[in-house]
Each structure stands twice: as structure tokens, then as C-alpha cells.
Chain A
Amino acid sequence: MSAPVVGPVAAARRLAAMAALAALVLGALLVQAAPMGPLPDGPVPDLAWCVLAFFVLRKPQAAPLGLVALLAILRDALLGGPLGAGALSVLLATEALRWRARELPPPRSVWGDWVWASLGYAGVLGLQWLLLGVSLGHPPALSALVPHLVATVLAIPLVAGVLRYGLRIGASPRQDDEARRLPRPFGRSAS
């Protein structure tokens, strides 16, 4: 049994994917943090979680443990949630998703991934609520968490669709090759 040789191209690809994850999560956090101004107040979906869950499920090699922890603590700092508790819950929830990605290699059911990502977010909210309560903080009523959970659950497939079909992240090399071989409307073949 020999260890696989990771070439410089593969390493560069992985780094590029990691940079893409960091940039996308940062972008999602900035959008989440931006005030919606005069628009009606409503629950804001956790876009950063949607991006993280997609990467961990569909491109886990681009979401190493350290990077996920770093982005999660950045999320806590920027959005003002319970510092540390949010990052811890995100880290544990992404590990659950990673376990699914490891145990059930692609192709997997998209619906199954959606359910797992949704359950993961429920876990993120639940653990933060629990930690705040245990530490004698002021956790919100559980009913107040439901709109955020619903908004995020609905946003997961939208974000996944944008990342998968808009930015072509998470497609396997074989799928990419097939996509390249598809006839283009103007007859120009992709390199």
C-alpha cells in the first residue's frame, strides 16, 4: 500500500479551492452583516453555513479542519454571536457532515445532503442555545430560532445551486470533462 503522490498541480488546485472557500464565506458573512436598510425585517439565512456545508459535503479536501475553525471564529467575530460557542458548534456540525461525506462517497442523493446540512444547522443553533443557557446567559426563546432555521434550510439548495452550476464547484473531474465535451452553441470547443 503506497501513499499517493500529490503533484504540484493537484496541490495548487487544492489551495485555489481553499482560497475560494475562504473568499466565498467572507463574502457571505459580509452580505449577512450588511443592513437591509428599509426592507422589511425578517430572518436572515446563514449563508456562511450554506457555503461551508456545501464545501464539506461536496469538496471536503478544500475545507480542512483548521480553515473551517478559522472561518467559524471569523463568523462569530463579525456577526456578533456568542464568541467561541458559534465556532464550536459549526466545527462539530461540519465534522458530522464530513463523516457522511467519508462514509458515503459520491454520487450521493442531493436530498440526503440537504437533510444533513439542515440537521447540521439545527445542531449549530441548538448547541449555541444550550451553551448560552448553561453559562447563565440570555438565550433567546426556542421559537425565535425557528424562522432562522427555516430561512437557512430554504437557502441551502439555492446556495448549492449557485456554487455547483454557477461557479462549477464540487463537480468531479469526470463531470467537468463531460461538460467540456458538450457542444457549445457557437461551435467553439473548450480547451
Chain B
Amino acid sequence: MAREDGIAEGGAARALRRILLACLCVGLLAVFVFWRIDSPRAERMRMGVVDALGPLVEQVSGPLDFLSEATVDFENFVRVYEQNDALRREIQRLRAWRESALQLEQENARLRALNHVRLAPTLGFVTGEMIGDSGGPFLATGLANVGARDGVEDGAAVMDGSGLVGRVVGLGRRASRVLYVTDYSSRIPVLIRPSGRRAILSGDGARAPRLDFLEDPEGVRPGDRIVTSGDGQVFPPDLAVGIAVVGPDGTPRARLAADLERLEFVRILRYRPDTTIDRPGGLIRNGPLPDGEPEAVDGEEIEDESGAAAPLDAPSPEASAGDATENPVASASR
């Protein structure tokens, strides 16, 4: 029997409905488990949906952007005289900075020429517009309207005009999902200048992320500059992150240089560190052996004159106590 409002009440229909509900619950739980186990593949599938809906998101965000910018324009109009004064003072200050920067640049060029410094290749980047926010409490992410077709790579660093914003965690053809540094799962190795101390920038949902695993916190003063350290080779070194501050709970935190609240355009860096060591040094033979010597491939055992078998790349006892199971190429490249 069915009521006027269309809700089936029959025993068979109810049983069928319960079975369907149970199947859906199990299926969704399986999707969650798949997402936790194999996140990159799940993110690729998710980005497929975002790719399909990307143009719609852009169309909806257009009028909302217009409204929010109109609000800001009105606020600026109200404070125009005040802002004018502030800008004049800022220009005077920047003129002095420009002179110093030019002098430093010339000095830098001279020193580099003297020392034959080989600089890392210039970073490439692609600029995109933020077209979406996660809007939920569980993830601090955003959607940028550039994707794989624009040369964006998974894991790439994302910056605004002032500092680090986050990294790409989902890549579609026309869009990419950016995990902000404030997200709970964001961890970035950083360097604090001028003390040179290292730390991990850990997002915890607050606007100023925590500085975890900080070596000797007493040596860090509020106002010290924080940059990426480049450890782990995910981010290039020396990207501006922010400055050190003391949080309300007394923990060292980073006030971000990037303005995550007013994020409109972002630069997604194309960084591929060219530091992979893909061949052994001269002491270890990598090619065919000369005539008369037994040929063997890496790891294969050969017999010596006494008949005892020993692997070619057997580590010394001292070395084997450490990381004997590690791939030597991977170890060297770390």
C-alpha cells in the first residue's frame, strides 16, 4: 500500500528499500575506504567530476565575485582619503627600498661572476584563477581553473603574489585542487631565517599554522622570515612562507605572507628538481666487464676462487648495520 505522499508502506517494498539502503551504505563505506587507501586515484576520479562541472562553477562564481568586489569597492570609496595618505607614505618607503635592491642586485651579480656560481634553472609557472572553495570544515582546499593541459603537475607548489598558498593535490584536465597550508593534513618543511633552524609547518585549521619539530625554539624570534627548505624535493627551496609569531597558546606559529582570504589569482610552479643521481660513481662498474672476467648483473651472486658465493654489491658489515635494505640510488638522491 502507498500513502498519498508516495511513501511505500508495503512489507515487501519496505524490505526491498532496507536492502537498497544497506547496499548503498556498504558501497559508500567502500568508496571512503578506497579514498583513504588510494587517495591519488580517488582524487583523479573526483577531479573528473570537477572537470565536467568546472565551467558551471566559473559561471556561478562570476556574479558572486562581482557582488563581493562591489562591496570592497564601496568600502574603498568610503576610505579613499585615508588610503591615499597611506599609499603616499608607502611609495616613499618603497623608493628607498628600490635603491637598496638595485645595489644588492649589482653586488650579487658581481659576486656570482667572481665565484662562477651555477644557479638552478629558473622556475616556470602557470597562473590561474581560483574558481572554487571547499566550503566545508573538513578540508581547506580550493579549485584553480588550470590543470594538466596547462602543464600543472600533481604536488606542485601554489603561490599568490606574496607567499606560499599550498600545493596541488588533485589534478584534472582543466582544473586542479589546491590544498591550503592551513589544512589539517598539510605538512611542509621550512627554514627560519636568519637562524637557519628547520621546522615543519603544520596546518591545524587556524590562520597561522604551527611550527612543529622546531630545533631550539629559543633561537627563533617573532618576526623571523620563514621560507621553504626544499627538503623532500616537493617544493623548491626559498619560497616565502611568512614570518614567525607566537600563537595565543604560546606555540611558535607562522603568520602567512599569502592572503588566503582574498585569493583570486595563483601561480602554480613547475618545479622538477634535477638532482636525481641515476648512475653509480666511477668506483662501481655499470657496463659489461672486460673479457676474462665473469659477467654479472647487480645483485647476482658470483663465485670466487674458493667457491664461496658473495653478492657483487654486498655492503660492508658497517654499512649493512645501517640501511642495507635501501636502494643505493634512492639513498643518494635523498
* Mask: chain B, 23-53; 1 = CB below 8 Å from A; 0 = not: 0110011111111100000100110011001
Chain B residues with CB under 8 Å of A144's CB are: 137, 205
Q: Contact at A37–B64, with CB atoms within 8 Å?
A: yes
Binds A, one of B98-106, B126-134, B229-237: B126-134
Q: How many of A's residues come within 8 Å of B, CB to CB?
A: 65
Partner of A65, one of B21, B50, B262: B21
A168 in the interface (beta carbon within 8 A): no
Q: Contact at A84–B30, with CB atoms within 8 Å?
A: yes
- C-alpha spacing A30/B143, complex, angstroms: 12
- With known contacts A35-B132, A37-B65, A38-B68, A80–B46 Cβ distance under 8 A: yes
Considering the complex, which residues of chain A in the window 75-108 have a beta carbon less than 8 Å from any beta carbon of chain B? Answer: 76-88, 91-92, 95, 98, 101-102, 105-106
Chain B residues with CB under 8 Å of A140's CB are: 137-138, 184, 205
Partner of B35, one of A65, A66, A82: A82
- With known contacts A84-B31, A138-B185, A3–B2 Cβ distance under 8 A: yes
Q: Contact at B20–A61, with CB atoms within 8 Å?
A: no
Q: Contact at A79–B185, with CB atoms within 8 Å?
A: no
Chain A residues with CB under 8 Å of B24's CB are: 65-66, 69, 91
Q: Contact at A60–B5, with CB atoms within 8 Å?
A: yes
Residue of B49, B61, B71, B136 with most partner-chain A CB within 10 A: B136
B196 in the interface (beta carbon within 8 A): no
A143 (CB) vs chain B CBs: closest residue: B205
Q: Contact at B28–A69, with CB atoms within 8 Å?
A: yes
- C-alpha spacing A141/B138, complex, angstroms: 10
**Interface SS of B by simple majority:** helix
**Interface SS of A by simple majority:** helix
* Minimal beta-carbon separation of B213 from chain A (angstroms): 17
Q: Contact at A37–B20, with CB atoms within 8 Å?
A: no
A144 (CB) vs chain B CBs: closest residue: B205
Q: Contact at A34–B60, with CB atoms within 8 Å?
A: yes
- With known contacts A3-B2, A81-B139, A140-B138, A38–B72 Cβ distance under 8 A: yes
Binds B, one of A111-119, A124-132, A159-167, A177-185: A124-132
- C-alpha spacing A4/B17, complex, angstroms: 19
B297 in the interface (beta carbon within 8 A): no
A47 (CB) vs chain B CBs: closest residue: B135
* Minimal beta-carbon separation of A59 from chain B (angstroms): 8
B214 in the interface (beta carbon within 8 A): no
Q: Contact at A39–B17, with CB atoms within 8 Å?
A: no
A88 (CB) vs chain B CBs: closest residue: B28
Chain B residues with CB under 8 Å of A88's CB are: 25, 28-29, 32
Chain A residues with CB under 8 Å of B130's CB are: 35
* Mask: chain B, 259-285; 1 = CB below 8 Å from A; 0 = not: 011111000000000000000000000
B3 in the interface (beta carbon within 8 A): yes
B49 (CB) vs chain A CBs: closest residue: A77
- C-alpha spacing A1/B184, complex, angstroms: 57
Q: Contact at B21–A132, with CB atoms within 8 Å?
A: no
Can you report 14 residue pairs joining A to B where beta carbons are below 8 Å apart? A34-B133, A36-B64, A37-B64, A44-B135, A46-B135, A46-B136, A65-B21, A69-B28, A79-B135, A80-B136, A85-B28, A128-B138, A138-B183, A139-B184
Q: CB within 8 Å of B: which residues of A?
A: 1, 3-4, 14, 26-27, 30-41, 43-44, 46, 60-61, 65-66, 69, 72-74, 76-88, 91-92, 95, 98, 101-102, 105-106, 125, 128-129, 131-132, 135, 137-141, 144-145, 147-148
Closest 3 CB pairs of A and B: A61-B6, A84-B32, A84-B31
Besides A80-B177, A135-B32, 7 new A-B residue pairs in contact (Cβ under 8 A), listed by A number: A44-B135, A61-B5, A80-B170, A83-B31, A101-B5, A132-B138, A140-B184
